[in-house]
Chain A
Amino acid sequence: MKFDSLIIGGGLAGLVCGIRCAQAGLKTGIISRGESGLAFSSGTIDLMGTGQNRESLIDPFKGIEWMLLKNPEHPYGKVGLDNIHQAMSWFQTLSREIELPYAPIAEGKNQHRITALGALRPTYLSPASMVHMPIEGKQTGFHRVAVVNIEGFRDFQPELARHNLRCLAEFQGVEVVSATIKLPSEALGNRDPGTMRSVELSRQLDSDRAISILAEKLKAAIGHADLVLLPSVLSLSNGSERLAQLSELSGYKISELATLPPSLPGLRLSERLQQRFHRLGGLMMSGDKADKGIIEQGKVQSISTHGNNQMALIADHIILASGSFMSGGLVADRNRIRESIFGLDVNTDSDRPQWANQKFLNGKAHAFTGFGVVVDQYMRPRKDNETVENLYCIGSVLGHAQPVEEGSAGGIAISTGWAAAERIIQKAAIQQKTAVQKTSSQEEIHHVR
């Protein structure tokens, strides 16, 4: 079957690229093997969080500029600063369209996200269900913060979060308390919350009645507080709406904390983006898996998939958004790294002992997290040193980035996905123009005869 653009991978990068292409009226397909990394993510979008000296960056765009001086091959270098700006503001518009608005604390400024363990992490965009905390200055502006759990829920420890928050410079002089509230068993479907994961709990709490009980219990348990931190357990699909409702009923400013996977805020974003893609007429092949791509004469000729090996999929433009090692876009063999679908050229020339640091968690970037596909300025990869004309690589399959150390995975996914789509839209417009010219000149000939 023939598409205008065909994307391999339904994570953040693939969905962004797919939505942008579908918005432009291109016939767009996404082959998606299972839920993406969004299901494990915090649900915020990091752009460039950490600087060269491991400091939290206030201005992510300046941070990108500095980083590019040392590492011009970074995916951000291919996209360019202007385009990164445009991509991020396009994403914010999209987030409002899907009614899950994402925003920075101020234009071009990073903010702090609070983790479930009570640590602060720099990020750029966060959903309305999470509090915007400034990185600048050492004051949070809060006087009394309450960390609250629902009794029995085992995947969140409010005391631990409280203790860690208290240790932070930003929380000096802030009274941090923790509380556990017991919900009546009818609000939990007469079940023991100790047996539930976040998703199961969210199904019980996704009702007006449960939210109003929760609001009353909150008020009784914590008294005055100018910020309440809750684990993300209120509704999978309508979490932001439920949180706003709880805020209104209880009078508290409430912020949710992403808990252990599966992450509700991340799944929520994934679900809404997929829905958007469907509504724009995008064609999702979930459950299927791209097995192999045939490259001949410098172009991808066709893709075969696991579920439909009877029909090759063809497209004018192919986009590889297959992710890194965890998603299977990159595979580590004994002595080499390979890209799993096309066998594209990757940036790994070191021997295996150099791939990882001796100490795994000492905060220093490992070489392997920077491995990936090598691309030209249009994000087109090479196979056996020859550029593949109609293939674009986006997201974490790209090499030369250090997403973990930099705090840049979301920004790379969005900006490369957007930029590849823009390039494809441009090319498709040119093709269409030539096609129209051709037919009109043929008509002229016909007319003269």
Chain B
Amino acid sequence: MSVNLALLDTSFDMCIKCTVCTTKCPVAEVQPDYPGPKQSGPDGERWRIKGEGFYDESLKYCTNCKRCEVACPSGVEIGSIIQKAKVRSGRHKPKIRDYILSHTDLMGAVATPVAPVVNMVTKVKPVRKLMDKVLDIDERPALPTYSWQTFRQWFKKDAPDQTGFKRQITFYHGCYINSNDTTVGKDLVKVLNAMNIGVQLLKKEKCCGVPLIANGFMDKAQSNAKLNTEQFREALEGDSECVISTSSSCSMTIRDEYHKLLEVDNRELVDRIFFFNTFLVKEFEQGNLPEMKPVKIKIAYHSPCHLIRVGGIVFTLEILRRIPGVELHMLDQRCCGQAGTYGFKKENYETSQEIGAPIFDQINKINPDFVVTDCEACKMQVESSTDYKVLHPLSVLARAL
């Protein structure tokens, strides 16, 4: 069965036409060709249910950052309305480029065995020029590098023994940790072990689906969601207390989009699928706080859009505030402009940079030792656009152990 996007969803009727969403849209702020979320979302949908002729090109500008949904006083899921319309319209046929950017687990499997070569090649200017010309992947942003040893390989061969812990959780690592940067995964193991909790992996896992949804591969996203959900069920029926993810976008997708957008019913499981921050704060409050030594670093925290959407920023802040010695600076809650794969695309690169510019300026002004954020896409954008290195909150915590 394929994803049934044709079902008539009239939730746009809740829109009271106040236009507040458009005042908060980072794309509308810098890209006047984009009419804004109100027009592209609920207003446009009112016409699109009439017929094919009412779909328009401007839908492509939406990054699905969901700030419109955060601003909406009437509970309209504006971002989702636009994403669904984009797919339904059939006009935004995914290109080869979109396939490459969105099939993150497949690309990881292909690239990691030859990681040094891939990493070198994607830094070579003529190659990037060629990718720019042929694939429409902009030549300017730094592309993610690949890891020589995947996280799964490390976990199997080099991770400390996890069987001695009475309490066990299952870690959904996602593509970025497995193929690109294994640090956060290793840090999660270190932190949880320090809290007397053992870590297991799923027998197998696929990309959560977030880049697939954004690039219009809905059927593939659905089959991934099915596989992951089966794996979660199996793990949770075993000796695992819960499933933990360290990526804010993976968590949001699994918790909110599997059921609502991809029609994979995981409702009986979602209460046991945690983003790392809620799990840790719960443990801390029950007294399970690892012993920490001061970490004397100055950090600037950037709030990822998708974590704002689910009201989760406060839990990460609670963790960072408990680490002794950390000097925490809050960056204004603005979008960094990367939005997953959006910023890599040639047609979006400039919009993406303009959206992020105020954040980059603020980082430069604060001049921190590190920028800290929960999202790997934000990390790529900030590292590509500034001279600062970006850490995951777990990596700050791991430094205190």
**Co-complex (A, B):** yes
Asked if A278 is at the interface (CB within 8 A of a chain B CB), the reply is yes
Q: Cβ of A39 and Cβ of B32 under 8 Å apart?
A: no
Q: Which of B298-352 contact A (CB under 8 A)?
A: 308-315, 317-318, 330, 332-333
In the assembled complex, the Cα of A269 lies from the Cα of B318 at a distance in Å of 27
Asked if B217 is at the interface (CB within 8 A of a chain A CB), the reply is no
Of the candidates A262, A283, A289, the one whose C-beta lies within 8 Å of that of B314 is A283
Q: Cβ of A311 and Cβ of B278 under 8 Å apart?
A: yes
Contacts A1-B285, A1-B315, A199-B22: A287 and B310 contacting too (C-beta < 8 A)? yes
In the assembled complex, the Cα of A288 lies from the Cα of B313 at a distance in Å of 11
Q: Which of A128-150 contact B (CB under 8 A)?
A: none
In the assembled complex, the Cα of A278 lies from the Cα of B32 at a distance in Å of 30
Q: Cβ of B73 and Cβ of A327 under 8 Å apart?
A: yes
Q: Shortest distance in angstroms between B26's beta carbon and chain A's nearest beta carbon? A: 12
Asked if A34 is at the interface (CB within 8 A of a chain B CB), the reply is yes
Asked if B7 is at the interface (CB within 8 A of a chain A CB), the reply is no
Counting chain A CB atoms within 10 Å of each CB, the highest count among B22, B32, B69 belongs to: B32
Of the candidates A287, A305, A311, the one whose C-beta lies within 8 Å of that of B70 is A287
Q: Cβ of A39 and Cβ of B18 under 8 Å apart?
A: yes
Q: Cβ of A1 and Cβ of B314 under 8 Å apart?
A: yes
Instruction: Annotate A1-26 by CB proximity to B: 1 below 8 A, 0 otherwise.
Output: 11000000000000000000000000
In the assembled complex, the Cα of A234 lies from the Cα of B311 at a distance in Å of 31
Q: Cβ of A1 and Cβ of B281 under 8 Å apart?
A: yes
Contacts A31-B311, A199-B19, A308-B311: A286 and B278 contacting too (C-beta < 8 A)? no
Q: Cβ of B308 and Cβ of A286 under 8 Å apart?
A: yes
Q: Shortest distance in angstroms between A15's beta carbon and chain B's nearest beta carbon? A: 15
Q: Shortest distance in angstroms between B20's beta carbon and chain A's nearest beta carbon? A: 5
Q: Cβ of B311 and Cβ of A36 under 8 Å apart?
A: no
A11: nearest chain-B partner, CB-CB: B73
Of the candidates B23, B282, B332, B333, the one whose C-beta lies within 8 Å of that of A311 is B282
Instruction: Annotate B257-294 by CB proximity to A: 1 below 8 A, 0 otherwise.
Output: 00000000000000100100010011001000000000
In the assembled complex, the Cα of A289 lies from the Cα of B19 at a distance in Å of 20
Where chain B touches its partner, the secondary structure class is helix
Q: Cβ of A278 and Cβ of B18 under 8 Å apart?
A: no
Q: Shortest distance in angstroms between B166's beta carbon and chain A's nearest beta carbon? A: 22
A3: nearest chain-B partner, CB-CB: B314
Asked if A197 is at the interface (CB within 8 A of a chain B CB), the reply is yes
Q: Shortest distance in angstroms between B130's beta carbon and chain A's nearest beta carbon? A: 34
Q: Cβ of B274 and Cβ of A310 under 8 Å apart?
A: yes
In the assembled complex, the Cα of A39 lies from the Cα of B75 at a distance in Å of 15
Q: Which residues of A contact B314 (CB under 8 A)?
A: 1, 29, 283-285
In the assembled complex, the Cα of A236 lies from the Cα of B73 at a distance in Å of 19
Q: Which of A193-250 contact B (CB under 8 A)?
A: 197, 199-200, 203, 236
Q: Which residues of A contact B274 (CB under 8 A)?
A: 310
Of the candidates A31, A197, A283, the one whose C-beta lies within 8 Å of that of B317 is A283
Q: Cβ of A307 and Cβ of B73 under 8 Å apart?
A: no
Asked if B396 is at the interface (CB within 8 A of a chain A CB), the reply is no
In the assembled complex, the Cα of A288 lies from the Cα of B66 at a distance in Å of 12
Q: Which of A250-283 contact B (CB under 8 A)?
A: 261-262, 267, 275, 278-279, 283
Q: Cβ of A197 and Cβ of B310 under 8 Å apart?
A: no
Q: Shortest distance in angstroms between A407's beta carbon and chain B's nearest beta carbon? A: 22
Q: Cβ of A307 and Cβ of B18 under 8 Å apart?
A: no
Q: Which of B9-24 contact A (CB under 8 A)?
A: 18-20, 22-24
Asked if A309 is at the interface (CB within 8 A of a chain B CB), the reply is yes
Asked if A422 is at the interface (CB within 8 A of a chain B CB), the reply is no
In the assembled complex, the Cα of A305 lies from the Cα of B312 at a distance in Å of 11
Q: Which of B53-101 contact A (CB under 8 A)?
A: 66, 69-75
Q: Cβ of B18 and Cβ of A261 under 8 Å apart?
A: yes
Q: Cβ of A307 and Cβ of B310 under 8 Å apart?
A: yes
Q: Shortest distance in angstroms between B40's beta carbon and chain A's nearest beta carbon? A: 14
Q: Cβ of A191 and Cβ of B32 under 8 Å apart?
A: yes
A191: nearest chain-B partner, CB-CB: B32
Q: Which residues of A contact B313 (CB under 8 A)?
A: 283-285
Q: Which residues of B contact A289 (CB under 8 A)?
A: 75
Q: Cβ of A305 and Cβ of B311 under 8 Å apart?
A: yes
Asked if B43 is at the interface (CB within 8 A of a chain A CB), the reply is no
Q: Shortest distance in angstroms between B116's beta carbon and chain A's nearest beta carbon? A: 41
Q: Cβ of B23 and Cβ of A33 under 8 Å apart?
A: no
Q: Cβ of A34 and Cβ of B32 under 8 Å apart?
A: no
Counting chain A CB atoms within 10 Å of each CB, the highest count among B20, B24, B281 belongs to: B20
Q: Shortest distance in angstroms between A319's beta carbon and chain B's nearest beta carbon? A: 16
Q: Shortest distance in angstroms between A326's beta carbon and chain B's nearest beta carbon? A: 8
Asked if A35 is at the interface (CB within 8 A of a chain B CB), the reply is yes
In the assembled complex, the Cα of A319 lies from the Cα of B69 at a distance in Å of 24
Asked if B29 is at the interface (CB within 8 A of a chain A CB), the reply is yes
Q: Which of A35-70 contact B (CB under 8 A)?
A: 35-36, 39-40
Q: Cβ of A236 and Cβ of B23 under 8 Å apart?
A: yes
Counting chain A CB atoms within 10 Å of each CB, the highest count among B18, B74, B317 belongs to: B18
Asked if A189 is at the interface (CB within 8 A of a chain B CB), the reply is yes
Contacts A34-B72, A34-B73, A286-B70: A262 and B29 contacting too (C-beta < 8 A)? no
Q: Shortest distance in angstroms between A187's beta carbon and chain B's nearest beta carbon? A: 14
Q: Cβ of B29 and Cβ of A203 under 8 Å apart?
A: yes
Q: Which residues of B contact A40 (CB under 8 A)?
A: 18
In the assembled complex, the Cα of A267 lies from the Cα of B18 at a distance in Å of 12
Q: Cβ of B19 and Cβ of A261 under 8 Å apart?
A: yes
Contacts A34-B72, A34-B73, A285-B314: A310 and B278 contacting too (C-beta < 8 A)? yes
The residues of B with any CB-CB pair to A shorter than 8 Å are 18-20, 22-24, 28-29, 32, 66, 69-75, 271, 274, 278, 281-282, 285, 308-315, 317-318, 330, 332-333
Q: Which 4 A-B pairs have the closest CB atoms?
A: A288-B311, A34-B73, A287-B70, A307-B310
Given A278-B330, A286-B308, A287-B311, 15 more A-B residue pairs with CB atoms under 8 Å apart are: A31-B311, A33-B75, A35-B20, A39-B18, A191-B32, A199-B23, A200-B32, A262-B18, A278-B333, A283-B317, A284-B313, A287-B66, A308-B310, A311-B315, A326-B73
Between A and B, 18 residue pairs with Cβ closer than 8 Å are A34-B70, A34-B71, A35-B73, A36-B73, A39-B18, A199-B23, A261-B18, A261-B20, A267-B23, A283-B317, A284-B313, A285-B311, A287-B66, A287-B309, A288-B310, A305-B311, A307-B311, A310-B282
